[in-house]
A and B are shown apart, each in its own frame.
Chain A
Amino acid sequence: MADDKPQGGYIQRDRNWHPPAYHPGYKTSVTRSPQKALLSFPSSLSEETGPVFSPSIIGARDNDLLHNFAADGESAIGPRILVYGQVREQSGRGLPDTLVEVWQANAGGRYRHQKETYLASLDPNFGGCGRCMTDARGYYEFRSVMPGPYPWPNGVNDWRPSHIHFSLFGQAFAQRLITQMYFEGDPLIWKCPIVNTIPSRQAVEDLIAPLDLNATIPMDTLAYRFDITLRGRRQTYFENRPQGL
């Protein structure tokens, strides 16, 4: 652990920034939302520690969704994209060596899942999962196809915008987060009941990845940049806890 300052516990989550548990526009949340007040405590060792993953678990094609499920010599169908960005704490410090997991629908908006009923076609060369570790500065990247939008049973005509799911670990279990990345310019973003569980436009915009033409690979792949911020630690020189804790 190479933090440059003595550090305290994790900054409390801003629960007015995150979506509330109960949001009737997203119907499934109605019976899955706790109704009693949460029990608030400052973080302790149990949350300030977290699992570490060895880079050895990551296979050479784990971050290449174009090919990691494809037959030899083939690749997934759809617009080729590269998604990259930095995983950092609220202080701005990049988080190295942390696991990033992603999953998504194929270019037609269809997930490879036995409970999926959308009539769009499966792509035999697309599985839809990928993962990588961040580098020394907290950067990650993966390659995939642009996921398609799809309809889902909520209202009679609700559609999900194109999106990629992200699972982040950070360095402490207090930082554990799952969220979704959206694509700049997609008109479905502002009509989506799941997006609209987020209280402010500013917070939604934090989940919209801009097209980054400078990072595209000419004649090959478009690039989107998506930075992710996890909870930061409070930086305190004086803390009312015994030496060594």
Chain B
Amino acid sequence: MAQTLDYLNESPSQTAGPYVHIGCTPNFSGIGGVYAEDPGSRMVNDKTLGERITIRGCVFDGVGAALKDALVEIWQADAAGLYNSPRENRGQADPEFSGWGRSPGDMESGEFVFETVKPGAVPWPDGRMQAPHITFWIVARGINLGLHTRLYFDDEKEANASDPILMRIEHRQRVETLIAKTESSATYRFDIHLQGSAETIFFDI
């Protein structure tokens, strides 16, 4: 026998279930008066620096139906490419921008919406710059472990072409699943497909 490595196992995941909104966005689900506001519902204020953008999309299942019980969260850098996190050691991020958003999706259509700012570029561990991107995390009934993916922008073609992650994707036709489409001025559409020919690339990262 060798010595024992004493790492603990990560707690195993369980689905967020159909009532994730009770715990994560109680005001949205009709449980008022407990929290002043639902966490992550406001990402920007009047003082936040950067270009205001709107991101809209739906999460579709394998038969093409939009999920109405999903919870979508995003995490991103500020307009200067800095994260509002104690782990950020490259400078002080915009204190008026949390970088984190949470959307329960519309009760009828399932559409999620984020009012945020366009993120600046952030370096990859080897120093190359990544294209501007937003990290997405999706949970719902039927999803056994939260799904990580990323949103990139269709108006950042040059940066996307040299992004360390996008460049490494073997099936080039799948790169499009990570790229949000300009829908109108400063509004981007980013649909997420859990299965099928348009299945979004999900990350093990």
Q: Give me the interface of A with B, judged by CB distance under 8 Å.
A: 1, 9, 11-15, 17-21, 23, 26, 28-36, 38-53, 57, 59, 62, 68-69, 88-92, 99, 101-103, 111-116, 127-131, 165, 167, 171-174, 176-180, 194-195, 197-198, 203-204, 206-207, 228-232, 240-242, 244-245
A76 to B23, CA, bound (A): 17
Chain B residues within 8 Å of A34, by CB: 147, 194-195, 199-200, 202
Which residues of chain B are near A11, meaning CB under 8 Å? 7
State the Cβ distance, B32 to closest chain A Cβ, in Å: 9
Q: Which of B19, B143, B144 contacts A113 (CB 8 A)?
A: B19
Given contacts A35-B195, A52-B84, A103-B20, is CB(A14)–CB(B9) below 8 Å? Answer: yes
Q: Is B51 close to A, CB under 8 A?
A: no
A92: which B residues are within 8 A, CB to CB? 6, 8
Q: Bound complex: CA of A68 vs CA of B26, how far in Å?
A: 12
Q: Which residues of A contact B77 (CB under 8 A)?
A: 46
Q: Which B residues touch A244, using CB under 8 A?
A: 89-90
Within 8 Å by CB of B20, from A15, A36, A178, lies A178
CB-based contact B9/A206 at 8 Å: yes
Q: Known: A9-B125, A179-B14, A241-B125. Contact between A112 and B9, CB under 8 A?
A: no
Q: Across the interface, which residues of B come within 8 angstroms of A44, CB to CB?
A: 122, 124-125, 130, 205
Please list the residues of chain B having a beta carbon within 8 angstroms of any beta carbon in chain A. Answer: 6-24, 26, 29-31, 33-36, 39, 61-63, 67, 69, 73, 75, 77, 83-90, 98-100, 122-127, 130, 133, 135, 137, 139-148, 150, 165, 168-169, 174, 194-195, 199-205
Say whether B130 contacts A32, CB under 8 Å: no
CA distance A167 to B102 in the complex (A): 13
B60 → A minimal CB distance (Å): 10
> Most B CB atoms within 10 A — which of A31, A45, A244?
A45
Chain B residues near A41 (CB, 8 Å)? 165, 168, 203-205
Decide: A29 near B142, CB < 8 A? Known: A49-B83, A242-B126: yes
- Are A245 and B123 in touch, CB under 8 angstroms? yes
Question: Contact between B135 and A32 (Cβ–Cβ < 8 Å)?
Answer: no
**When chains A and B are docked, how far (Å) is the Cα of A71 from the Cα of B89?**
46
Count how many pairs of residues, one from A and one from B, have CB atoms less than 8 Å apart in the complex: 278
Residues of A within 8 A of B89 (CB): 1, 244
Q: Within the complex, which residue of A32, A112, A195, A206 is in contact with B67, where a contact is CB–CB below 8 Å?
A: A32
B87 touches A129 (CB 8 A): no
A51 engages B87 (CB within 8 Å): no
Q: Give the contacting residue for B146; candidates A130, A178, A241; CB below 8 A.
A: A178
- Min distance, Cβ A40 to any Cβ of chain B, angstroms: 4
The answer on a CB contact under 8 Å between B73 and A176 is yes
- Max count, chain A CB within 10 A of own CB: residue among B35, B77, B100, B139: B35
Residue from A1, A15, A241 in contact with B126 in the complex, judged by beta carbons closer than 8 Å: A241
The residue in A33, A48, A92 that gathers the most chain B C-beta atoms within 10 A of its C-beta is A33
A59→B12 contact, CB < 8 A: no
Select one of A1, A28, A167, A228 contacting B87, CB under 8 A. A1
* In the complex, chain A residues whose CB is within 8 Å of the CB of B130: 44, 46
Is A176 in contact with B146, judged by CB distance below 8 angstroms? yes
Q: A45-B83, A50-B85, A245-B127 are in contact. Are A39 and B14 (CB under 8 A)?
A: no
Given known A51-B98, A129-B26, A176-B137, contact A69–B11 (CB-CB < 8 A): no
User: Quick check: B122 and A165 within 8 Å, CB to CB?
Assistant: no
- 26 example contacts (A-B, Cβ-Cβ < 8 A) are as follows A15-B145, A19-B12, A28-B142, A29-B144, A31-B195, A32-B67, A39-B202, A39-B203, A45-B125, A46-B77, A47-B148, A50-B100, A53-B39, A90-B7, A91-B8, A101-B39, A112-B30, A113-B22, A116-B19, A129-B22, A171-B87, A178-B13, A203-B12, A228-B11, A231-B10, A242-B127
Q: What is the CA–CA distance of A63 and B168 in the complex, to the nearest angstrom?
A: 45
Q: Is the CB of A206 within 8 A of B11?
A: yes
